[in-house]
Chain A
Amino acid sequence: SQKIEQNSEALNIQEGKTATLTCNYTNYSPAYLQWYRQDPGRGPVFLLLIRENEKEKRKERLKVTFDTTLKQSLFHITASQPADSATYLCAHRYSSASKIIFGSGTRLSIRP
């Protein structure tokens, strides 16, 4: 069955460093992967989408990579700031006929 996994342990990073979050999938190759940010008490907010034929996508300080060999997507925040502290969710669609499935998220804390 389709499965998407994120590191459930919180990630603590010093301000200014690059934060790297991991999203792994098994048993298939998704057509695309999305990354969302969720702040406490709020709904998720879309950040980036990367398709299976793209290796990298950037938006300001954010970068997403997609490695179909490793079955993994990496989400990077460069020059991290305390305001980047949140839970980050990855989501995917297996095929045009399937629904979007979300990972359980990784909580990121950026300390000053």
Chain B
Amino acid sequence: NAGVTQTPKFQVLKTGQSMTLQCAQDMNHNSMYWYRQDPGMGLRLIYYSASEGTTDKGEVPNGYNVSRLNKREFSLRLESAAPSQTSVYFCASSEGTRTDHETQYFGPGTRLLVL
């Protein structure tokens, strides 16, 4: 049982390049989330998916798109990376179909540097 896995662990991009961050969970959870974490800012929600086939914007969605590929996988895409998107990105999942379900399980994070 791997929990929540993320790939890649680390990525360097040039401004304007695109990339997709991958996330998968093996806990049969319904809800999945993407956060970014910046120094002094805490975790900020980018997008979330309360169930397979649905996605909704979080606090900071601009510049990102997501795909809930199936119940296990939730990807985050940067179409045209900007230096302001340099951050650590965390994927998380929770059991319920409502995004207010209690416990979130986090992946190890992807460290992204945009030059």
Contact = CB atoms under 8 A, between A and B. Distances in A.
A binds B: yes
Interface of A: 8, 31-32, 34, 41-46, 49, 89, 91, 93, 96-105
Contact of B43 (A44, A49, A97): A44
Given A34-B103, A44-B104, 9 more contacts: A8-B40, A32-B102, A43-B107, A43-B108, A43-B109, A93-B100, A98-B100, A100-B99, A103-B42
A98 to B, nearest CB: 7
Contacts, number: 55
Contacts of A31: 100
- Please classify how large the interface on chain B is, using the bins under 10, 10 to 19, 20 to 34, 35 or more: 20 to 34
A49 B102 contact: yes
A44 B106 contact: yes
Interface in B81-96: 90, 92
A100 B103 contact: no
Given A44-B43, A102-B43, A96 B100 contact: yes
A49 B48 CA distance: 21
Can you list the 4 inter-chain pairs with the closest CB atoms, starting with the nearest? A43-B106, A104-B42, A102-B43, A46-B103
